[in-house]
Each structure stands twice: as C-alpha cells, then as structure tokens.
Amino acid sequence: MTAFERRGTHLIHVGGVPVGGGSPITVQSMTTTKTADVDGTLAQVYALRGAGADIVRITCNDVDAAKGLAEIVPRSPVPIIADIHFQYRLALAALEAGVQGLRLNPGNIRKPEHIKAVARAAADRGVPIRVGVNAGSLDKDLLEKYGSAVPQALVDSAVHEIRLLEEVGFSDIKISVKHSNVRSMVESYRLLADTIDYPLHLGVTEAGPPPAGLMKSVAGIATLLLEGIGDTIRFSLTADPVEEAEAGRRLLEQLGLRERAGLDLIACPSCGRAEVDVIQVARDAQAALEAEKLPIQVAVMGCIVNGPGEAREADIGIAAGKGKGHLFIKGQVVRVVPEAEMVEALLDEARKLVDEGVEARLAAAEGTAEQIAEETARELLAARGDANRTEERRARVAEVAGGDAEVAGGDAEIAGGE
Ligand code: SF4
C-alpha cells in the first residue's frame, strides 16, 4: 500500500505491534487521566484504540501510577508504554508492572549508571526503549554548547543516550527528536535519519489546540512520512487524546499508508452555481455517515453541472440541484430525490453499496438510470447553454456575419447556384 520508498530501519516490537523494518506505520497517543485511576485510564485506552491508536503511552510519574500500570497493562487492548521522567526507579517499577515499552527523556534522566540499569532490566524482559528527546527539556550542557535547541543539539542528545544503551548491548531502541517549531522538527528528524538507523517516532511537540495544532502536526509529520522517514507517529494536541488518535489515523489513511476504516467525505467548496447550502448538506451527510462507520468515499457536490463528473472517483455522491438531488454511483446518476430527502437517500444508498457492491447497485438502477440520464442530459444542456450564453453569442456571430437577412440571402444564392 506504501506509495513511496521508506527508509530502512531496525525492526522492534512494542508488545505485539511491530515498529520499523518496513512494518505498517503506527499511531500512538497518550492518556490524560491519573494513572492511579485504573478504570478511568482503561476507559480512555479503549477509546483511543477505537479512534485508531495502535500503541498508548501512559505516564508513570509516581509509585501509585506504577501500581496502576500493574492493573492496566493486563487489561489493555493495545501495548502500553510507560512515560518516565527524572526517576529511573519508576522505569524499573513500570517494567515490573509489565509494560511493553518505556519512554525515557535523556534531558531528565542523566546518570549513565541509571540509564544502563534500566536498559539491562528492559533487555531481560524484551521491552524496547524510546529515547524521547524534547527541545523543551534538552540537556543543559547541549543548550550551552549550541545556544538553543537547534536540530544538531537534539540529535546529539539522542545519540549520546543511544551510545549508553548500546554500551550494555541494548539495541531495542526507537527515537524521537520533537520540537514545537515545524521546520526545526523536520530538520532534526532528517538529520537523525542520516545519522542512525533505529526506527523513528514522529511528532511536533506541544502543537497546541486544533486547528493550528493539527496543521503544525500534519505539516511536520506528513513532510517526513512522504520522504520515507518515520515508523510511528503522534499528534501532540491540546485536546481530548481521542482527537489525537483520530487525526493520526486519518493522516495515514490520506497518505495511503493505512486502509481506510471509515468515511472519506469529499465535498466541493461551493460557488455561485450551487442551489443549496452545500456546507450544511456536507455537514449533515458527514454526521449521518460517520455514525454508521461505513468505509466508503462519499462526495457532496453543489450542482449537477459539474458534480458527478468531478466526483466520479467517489463510490457514491449527491449533486444538489434546485429542489432535488441527483444521487450518483461512480459518477453515474442512479436516483433523483427531493432536496429534503437528500441526506437520508445518500445514507440509504451508502448502506446498500457497502452490502451489495458497486456493480450490483448500478445494475439495480439500470431501469431508471436511462430515464434519469436523459433528464440529466437535458438539464445539463440547459444549464451549460445558459452558462455559455449561447443566444447572445449566436446573435453576435450573426451580426459579424452581416445580419440575418444577408446570411439568408447568401444561403439563397448558394441554393440558387445549385
Ligand atoms: S460542484 Fe458545482 S457548486 Fe460545487 S464548486 Fe463546482 S460548480 Fe460550484
């Protein structure tokens, strides 16, 4: 399904989920609940899974959180990564709790003997470690050396930590070098990809609330994915984490890196030709279709003139006209419905299309399709004729030709000549 070449990396496994080595790109998110609240956290993990998360990270920030992990991990539908800052002992406790991955921040756990102790314990359990460098919590020495969190400083931090892990024979590693500035983030990952061949976890850190946070994340993550860089992704949004997981999944779907799980709605931007409120119809259709979770591409177009043709790649669509809607499958109009029933008809046809397939639905419409096609053709002709100002142009042509009488006279002459 991959439409472009991906950078070769080591293969690691976070629980049962492969990361790197050409595996499908995975989506991650992080819970926002207190980890000690086991049921609340598990409910969020399930919601994240439902939205498209393959792996979920949970903070392990104190002993109660570590105890919570011991209950959460065996009941989780996805592998759990414990997020560790400052206290290496909490990493050991999280491993004891059975987590399938650790994330260590090199800027926050600095003693080599502590990092090596965690690596040995992780190796014993076959648990990978993410070296998670963050521009906002970069090692002080590197900040002094470079003056600010420039890409090379982030990469140096990651490489320093990797070398410590490698010194004790640990190579079950993935890496992130997150920055809140999109261009710096992209440059950091490019540099990192040229330096090491461990799998990479992509993200724009502290991206903020949507829509700006979404745009930053898409700009950074998509740029790298299209260059073949990146093995797992996270949108760090200031929002419900379910939105993060959903955004990550949708991005992969749009890039053709993941099979579509639900609706892909395409809709025209509307223009003066539209006879209905396209934005409202698109919103209503989106709400109705998303509730059904049908894995199809649906088009909502504002007019019959350009709608079916422009959206002929869509599985199904509606082109709104004055007082009615033309329902089409793969660009072919199969039904005409009153304006008030457009969305319901679209939903009804979408369900049938998923159940029966395109061919069957087109065949079922064959009897009526011809008649509709004729009517549609007449409407199109009328609309296009009007759009082309045919009468006006004919009159102008006649004028240039010397007027109707002369042209008629010319004709008569020719006729006489025969
Ligand atoms: S499909 Fe019709 S209404 Fe929509 S933008 Fe195109 S011409 Fe305008």
- Write out the DSSP string of 305-372: TTHHHHTTTSSEEEEEETTEEEEEETTEEEEEEEGGGHHHHHHHHHHHHHHH-HHHHHHHTHHHHHHH
Which CATH number goes with the domain that contains 349? 3.30.413.10
- Cβ of 302 less than 6 Å from ligand 1: yes
Residues 134 and 272 in one domain: no
- Cβ of 53 less than 6 Å from ligand 1: no
- Cβ of 383 less than 6 Å from ligand 1: no
- Report the sign of the C-alpha dihedral through residues 272, 264, 334, 351, in that order: negative
Residues 312 and 380 in one domain: yes
pTM for this entry: 0.81
Which CATH number goes with the domain that contains 190? 3.20.20.20
Ligand 1 pocket test: which of 270, 304, 322 has the largest number of ligand atoms within 8 Å of its C-beta? 270
Q: Token pair for residue 324? A: 């009615």
The count of domains in the chain is 2
- Which pLDDT tens digit goes with each residue over 278-336? 899 899 999 999 888 888 899 999 888 777 777 888 999 999 888 888 899 988 888 89
- Cβ of 273 less than 6 Å from ligand 1: yes
> How many angstroms does the Cα of residue 226 sit away from the middle of ligand 1?
31
Residues 179 and 63 in one domain: yes
Q: Is residue 418 in some structural domain?
A: no
> How many angstroms does the Cα of residue 311 sit away from the middle of ligand 1?
11
Q: Is residue 399 in some structural domain?
A: no
Q: Is residue 7 in some structural domain?
A: no
> How many angstroms does the Cα of residue 326 sit away from the middle of ligand 1?
14
- Cβ of 195 less than 6 Å from ligand 1: no
Q: Is residue 412 in some structural domain?
A: no
Residues 285 and 379 in one domain: yes
Angle CA 328–384–325, to nearest 5: 30
Predicted pLDDT at 408: 41
- Which pLDDT tens digit goes with each residue over 81-130? 999 988 999 999 999 999 999 999 887 887 899 999 999 999 999 999 99
Q: Which DSSP state fits 237?
A: B
Residues 281 and 151 in one domain: no
- Cβ of 272 less than 6 Å from ligand 1: no
Give the β-pairing of 201-202 and 232-234: parallel
> How many angstroms does the Cα of residue 331 sit away from the middle of ligand 1?
15
Give the β-pairing of 297-301 and 316-321: parallel
- Which pLDDT tens digit goes with each residue over 336-388? 999 889 999 999 999 999 999 988 988 888 766 666 667 766 766 666 655 55
Q: Is residue 1 in some structural domain?
A: no
- Cβ of 303 less than 6 Å from ligand 1: yes
Whose C-alpha lies nearest to ligand 1, atom 2?
303
CA terminus-to-terminus distance, the chain: 68
- Residue-range definition of the domain harbouring residue 240: 12-254
Predicted pLDDT at 126: 97
Give the end of a domain, one of 254, 277, 304: 254
Residues 353 and 227 in one domain: no
- Cβ of 307 less than 6 Å from ligand 1: yes
Q: Is residue 81 in some structural domain?
A: yes
Q: Is residue 240 in some structural domain?
A: yes
> How many angstroms does the Cα of residue 309 sit away from the middle of ligand 1?
11
